[in-house]
Amino acid sequence: MKHVIIGAGAAGISAARTLRKQSAVDEIVMIATDRLAYSRCMLHKYIGGERDEKGISFVEEDFFESNRIRFCSDRTVTKIDTSNHQVCFADGVESYDKLLIATGAESFFPPIPGLKGAKNVFGLRDLVDARAIKSQGSKAKHVVVIGAGLVGLDVAYGLLEMGKKPTVVEMADTILSSNLDASAALTYQMKFEEAGCMFKLGCKVEGVLSDASGQVSAITLGDGSQLNCDLLVVASGVRPSIGWLADSGIVCERGVVVDNYLATNIANVYAAGDVTGLSESWPNAVEQGEVAAQNMLGMPNEYTDTFSLKNTIHFFGIPSLSVGRLNGKEGDVEESREDRKRYQKVILRDGIPVGVILQGDISRSGFWQQLIKNKVDVSGRSKDIWKVSFADSYGIEDNGEYKWLFD
């Protein structure tokens, strides 16, 4: 059996690992547009100089050799010929018995007048973006980042490490508005500002101006003001990478459409990770890669854990975690506490935790995801919500592992 995996991110690598673990003899081919299997969650560390290209790899140095995987690096797949079981490049083909599409997502560039075609404008998704930001950033005088989500702040952080003083423009009134509430977000905003970053919040980008050579020169904002800009990074979210699948016959909506077994509408073609649009979370992508690989091997397995409202953030030595809802709705109960070093908030609905934000101290907090995901009623437990833990659901399997005992 010959397995071909397109993409060497979280899902692709995890699928390859699973395939090799389950089958010593099957042929495995991985195709990637870059020459490395790197973690895009570490790209800002590369920009900031904390790590080199090798340092942002998330696999063992001999991963491809030791797992007997043929790694086709620097290769771009142009289309899939499903009737002939082939993936096509500009200059050749690769045949497959089972195919996994794990091409992830790509930066989304909003339809801002003047943005398209302007030079010195980048997203931050791939290593090639990070290389460009790093090299252009060293020369740039006025760096602007559009978007104050996690990626936008990653970019800003990397640029600050380079000694730059970027300006971050964001439509929402707070930074990290998809990850934190206003109070927790403000903590980071102040740290970024102390380090030299400027924010324009509640601000829409109206246009991008370029000079005679096509280089970005300024951006105009909703309030009529203008910001000088010679390097623009757009961090306005991502979209599944599916444009190249247009004529393949593989059904796509927001992403590649898959069933519970992560199979596409075409036989022997599977998809996993961000390209499915099911989530944008690393652990979910790894899990999907594993499940898809098992199905490719004829070991039926369903992907069930789709919960993805979870994230951690760590800037300036302050860790944060958020799971579920960030702000209470009408009828919710919010409990919070804070001191000099931490801020913690839990949102409950009818005694069931539906959201948690922890900042400053996230010690031994992993159980919150289980309580929220499994909708565990904690009202019968300790009156002090901060004393809730795994202890009240404590179970042990025959093999000594823990298990959650739900009421």
The catalytic residues are 41
**Amino acid letter, residue 155:** V
Question: Nearest distance from residue 256's CB to another protein, in Å?
Answer: 22
Question: Nearest distance from residue 279's CB to another protein, in Å?
Answer: 13
Is the separation of the CB atoms in 126 and 114 below 8 Å?
no
Supply φ then ψ for residue 336, to 5 degrees. -140, 160
Q: Cβ closer to another protein: 108 or 390?
A: 390
Question: Nearest distance from residue 153's CB to another protein, in Å?
Answer: 13
Output the CA angle 78-47-129, nearest 5 degrees: 20
CA contacts within 13 A on the Cβ side of 407: 12
Q: Cβ closer to another protein: 40 or 164?
A: 40
Place of tokens 């797992």: 67
Q: Which residues bind another protein (CB under 8 A)?
A: 10, 14, 39, 41-42, 45, 57-60, 282-283, 286-287, 310-312, 314, 317-319, 321, 323, 362-370, 380-382, 389-392, 394, 396, 399-402, 404
Give one word for 345, left, alpha or beta, with left for phi > 0 and alpha for psi -120 to 50: beta
Question: Nearest distance from residue 1's CB to another protein, in Å?
Answer: 23
CA contacts within 13 A on the Cβ side of 145: 29
How is residue 189 written in tokens? 């905003």
How is residue 125 written in tokens? 């998704």
First CA to last CA across the chain, in angstroms?
A: 46
Q: Cα dist. 276→232, 280, 288, 306, 312 in Å? A: 28, 9, 10, 12, 22
Is the separation of the CB atoms in 120 and 233 below 8 Å?
no
Output the CA angle 23-29-34, nearest 5 degrees: 135
Question: Nearest distance from residue 210's CB to another protein, in Å?
Answer: 36
Q: Cβ closer to another protein: 67 or 217?
A: 67
Q: Cβ closer to another protein: 42 or 171?
A: 42
Question: Nearest distance from residue 381's CB to another protein, in Å?
Answer: 5
Question: Nearest distance from residue 51's CB to another protein, in Å?
Answer: 8
The distance of Cα 32 from the centroid of its chain, to the nearest Å, equals 18
Q: Cβ closer to another protein: 33 or 311?
A: 311
Is the separation of the CB atoms in 199 and 221 below 8 Å?
no
Q: Cβ closer to another protein: 83 or 399?
A: 399
Tell me the DSSP string of 288-339: HHHHHHHHHTT-----------EEEEEETTEEEEEEE-SSPPTT-EEEEEE-
Give 220's DSSP letter.
Answer: E
Radius of gyration of the chain (CA): 23
Question: Nearest distance from residue 366's CB to another protein, in Å?
Answer: 4
**CA-CA-CA-CA torsion sign (251, 293, 29, 63):** positive
Q: Cβ closer to another protein: 167 or 320?
A: 320
Place of tokens 């390859």: 16
